Amino acid sequence: MSRSTVGVIGHVDHGKTALVRALTGQETDRLPEEKARGISIALGFAHLDEAVDLIDMPGHERFVRTMISGATGIDAVLLVVAANEGVQPQTVEHVEIAGLLGIGRALVAVSKCDLVEPGVAELVAAEALELLERSGLAPLPQAGGVGGGPAMMVAHSPTPSPSRKREGNCGAILTSAVSNQGIAELRQALRALAEHQHSRPADGSTWLPIDRAFAIPGHGPVVTGTLRGAPLSPGDALELLPSRRKVRVRALQVHGAAIMSAQPGQRVAANLRGVELGQLARGMALAAAGALEAADWLTLALRSVPESPALKNGARMRALFGTQEAEARLRLLDRDVLEPGEACFAQLRLASPAAIPAGEHVILRRASPALTLAGGRVLELEAHRLRRHDGAVLDWLELLRDGSPEEVIAAEVTRAGEVGTTVQHLARLTALAPARVEELLQVLPVEVNRAGAVVRQEAAQSRRRLTLRPDPERARADAERATEIADLLQPAGLTPPLPKVLIIDASSHRAVEMLLRDGTLIRAVDRDKGKELLFHRDAIAAARQLLSPLLGAKDDGGILVSEICSALGISRKFCMPLLDHLDTVRFTRRVGDRRVAGQAMREDS
């Protein structure tokens, strides 16, 4: 049987948790504060047989951000509306968010029907179904037999058309967690949803946004989330984003049972090697090594909420994607104002770099007073700032929005010209695994040249005629550029300029790679922030010389990062990447929040 991940959405105190408990026998409110206050605060998880994963989402307006983190990556929603209250503000906002996330399938359950007369519950059901229709969420067809008996299926229209009758009633199930009215029918509807669930594509790259992190004694850190992109198995090597720390999957579980392979769309618990619990948090993500790059700009196909205020170019807002949240500034590419309910192309300038696959959804919210404003789908994750009101740019974005992977790949290779592009870049642009991109390249008029660049066949043939011999002029220019970069970095010492200041074109990129290969430059990364720096080898040598007596004098007690910063006269911005490099080469060793002498330092001394 196929498996579906269903988000349980709706207004606070409308009985979502009680309904999940009645359906599954499982309690999703696990926190003491939730039990004391009687409302959900965090995401709750349960499962119905092996067919349906249920995510119980908080309904209070203060926890909409938590709701969004749970709703990304799900297959459908179960909208719960209390019969004694009807549609409420968070009912509307939850449905709007589900529509903006591209979730096209919904079930409706009217809860607490034991508190009202049947006629009242039917009116609430009709109201909920109308809300779904306005938001672009179609209620799923229900089998005619599901509606019999006291549960009663309320049809969306009192006089369905003949074609609709053939499909089955699109309706709401009247339920009560107290009397168990409609619970069996709702279980049947959820199982039918799973039976008709299309398998998710599994030819992308692994991406697992983390919604929980905890430790199990004797096993180490565990993270949970909804898997996307590609299957995941024990032993797989991944990167923890945004730090790019290398981790490995020790074991996997689904519903508490060990498995050897998890599929996209499944709720997964992954036991990890190579990382400590203190280095994990909700909002981070696991990804296939090298699959994603952090970017300051995200390019989106955007749609605003019909009842939202008009959005002006340059407006500040909060962007929520995966399980992450970031400050962002809106840049409209085809207009100056986005009116309510309209769609456009836009970019977000993020306050800090983020890594998110193409095709994932983003929700935009106003911080105060809190309000959902718009939502969109990521078109490019590596994009720089694009020209506004530019026909060529808008045509390209339209292709990214509507085109097939083959069309996007062919167009990007053409755009790259004789220089070409890379399989890795094409994989990021299409959210496909590199192996799948290579398969598609076989049926397109392109080829991969000896330098590893993907070019059009005619461009490759032309370039081969022109470059049968090495280009001495280019080699001389690259060598000169390498000398200039080394001369710039050497006096900078332990406070070098950022790499983007140094690498401004293809020649400077080749020059830096040359300096890294010959050991003149050393690449260092702050893994907690994903920041990279390039140090001259003389600066690294000077740092080692300064730190050796300091580390030796501390015996095994170690020294704090603040002490190292003070000794070297630099800030944490430069110190953290430096220490990561020194840890890697075993000159130092991290113990908690301190550094002690590593094996290489002891051997040197």
Buried b (16+ CB within 10 A) or exposed e, 288-327: beebbebbebbbbbbbbbeebeebeeebebbbbbbbbbbe
Query: Do 224 and 332 share a structural domain?
Result: no
pLDDT at 163: 31
Q: Report the pLDDT value the prediction gives residue 318, as an integer from 0 to 100.
A: 94
Among the listed ranges 73-82, 159-168, 210-219, 422-431, which one has the minimum average pLDDT value?
159-168
Same-domain status, 172 and 62: yes
Nearest Cα to 376, choosing from 330, 411, 408? Answer: 330
| Confidence bin at 59 (pLDDT 50/70/90) | low
Return the number of other C-beta atoms located less than 10 Å from residue 253's C-beta.
16
Q: How confident is the model at residue 20 (pLDDT cuts 50, 70, 90)?
A: very high
Tens digits of residue pLDDT in 424-480 = 999 999 999 999 999 999 888 888 887 778 888 765 555 444 343 456 777 888 889
What 8-state DSSP symbol labels residue 604? H
- Helix, strand or coil for residue 48? strand
User: For residue 149, what pLDDT band results from cuts at 50, 70 and 90?
Assistant: very low
Residues 235, 149 share a domain: no
pLDDT band at residue 50, thresholds of 50, 70 and 90?
confident
The last residue of one of the domains, among 288, 318, 338, is 288
Q: What is the mean pLDDT of residues 582-601?
A: 81
In this predicted model, what pLDDT tens digit does every residue of 86-144 receive, in sequence order?
Answer: 999 889 988 998 889 888 789 999 999 999 998 999 999 999 999 988 877 766 655 43
Same domain, 348 and 223: no
Residue 2: per-residue pLDDT: 66
The first and second tokens of residue 34, run together, are 């939730």
Q: What is the mean pLDDT of the chain?
A: 84
Range 518-539 average pLDDT: 84
pLDDT at site 22: 94
Query: How many CB atoms are located within 10 Å of the residue 234 CB?
Result: 16
CATH classification of the domain holding 19: 3.40.50.300
Among 354, 357, 362, 360, CA closest to 244: 354
Which strands make up the sheet holding 594-597, listed edge to edge?
A: 559-560, 594-597, 588-591
Of the ranges 384-388, 448-452, 537-541, which one carries the lowest mean pLDDT score?
448-452
pTM value is 0.70
281 pLDDT tier (thresholds 50, 70, 90) = very high
Residue 114 and residue 19 in contact, taking contact as beta carbons nearer than 8 Å: no
Same-domain pairing of 364 and 271:
no
For residue 162, pLDDT over 50 is answered with no
Element housing 427 (H / E) = helix 423-430
pLDDT (0 to 100) of residue 246: 94
Q: How many domains, in total, are found in the chain?
A: 5
Give the residue from 172, 195, 218 where a domain finishes.
195
**189-217 pLDDT, tens digit each:** 999 888 887 778 888 999 999 988 999 99
Return d(Cα 423, Cα 130) in angstroms, integer.
46
User: Is 71's pLDDT higher than 80?
Assistant: no
Angle between helices 64-71 and 89-100 (to 10 degrees): 30
Distance CA 122, CA 182 (A): 14
Considering the domain architecture, whether residues 275 and 310 belong to the same structural domain is answered as no
Looking at the structure, tell me whether residues 311 and 430 fall in a common domain: no
Which range scores top for mean pLDDT: 168-177, 467-476, 478-487? Answer: 478-487
Distances from the Cα of 315 to the Cα of 166, 312, 349, angstroms = 48, 6, 10
Mean pLDDT on 496-525: 85
Kindly give the interhelix angle for 506-517 and 472-492, rounded to the nearest 10 degrees: 70
pLDDT at site 502: 84
At 590, which helix (H) or strand (E)?
strand 588-591
What is the C-alpha to C-alpha distance for residues 425 and 416, in angstroms, rounded to an integer? Answer: 11
- Model pLDDT, residue 194: 84
Share of the chain above pLDDT 90, in %: 46
Q: Is 212 helix (H, G, I), strand (E, B) or coil?
A: strand
Percentage of residues of the chain with pLDDT beyond 70: 86
Question: Residue 492 belongs to a domain with what CATH number?
Answer: 1.10.10.10
Would you say residue 379 lies in a domain?
Answer: yes
* 344 close to 334: Cβ distance less than 8 angstroms: yes
**Cβ neighbours, 10 Å, residue 240:** 23
Residue 39: its pLDDT value, please?
60
Which of the pair, 467 or 37, is modelled with greater confidence? 37
Given this model, what pLDDT does residue 272 score? 96
Q: What's 333's domain CATH number?
A: 2.40.30.10
Whether 112 and 100 have beta carbons less than 8 Å apart is answered as: no
- Kindly report, residue by residue over 259-270, the tens digit of the pLDDT: 999 989 888 999
| Domain termination site, one of 135, 166, 195 | 195
> Is residue 556's pLDDT more than 80?
no
> Are 77 and 181 contained in the same domain?
yes
156-160, 311-315, 438-442, 454-458: range with lowest mean pLDDT? 156-160
> Among the listed ranges 408-422, 463-477, 558-572, which one has the minimum average pLDDT value?
463-477
Looking at the structure, tell me whether residues 276 and 310 fall in a common domain.
no
Q: Is the pLDDT of residue 156 over 50?
A: no
Model pLDDT, residue 167: 31
- Domain span holding position 148: 4-195
Note whether residue 201 is domain-resident: no
pLDDT value, residue 36: 58
In a domain, 202, yes or no: no
Say yes or no: 303 and 367 in one domain.
Answer: yes
Query: Do residues 81 and 99 share a domain?
Result: yes
Most confident of 131-140, 178-187, 410-419: 178-187
What tokens were used for 559? Answer: 């020294």
* Same-domain status, 344 and 271: no
User: Given this model, what pLDDT does residue 600 score?
Assistant: 66
Helix, coil or strand: residue 53: strand
β 521-526/343-354 pair status: unpaired
Q: Kindly state whether residue 537 falls inside one of the protein's structural domains.
A: yes
Q: What pLDDT is recorded for position 382?
A: 65
Instruction: Confirm whether 580 is domain-assigned.
Output: yes
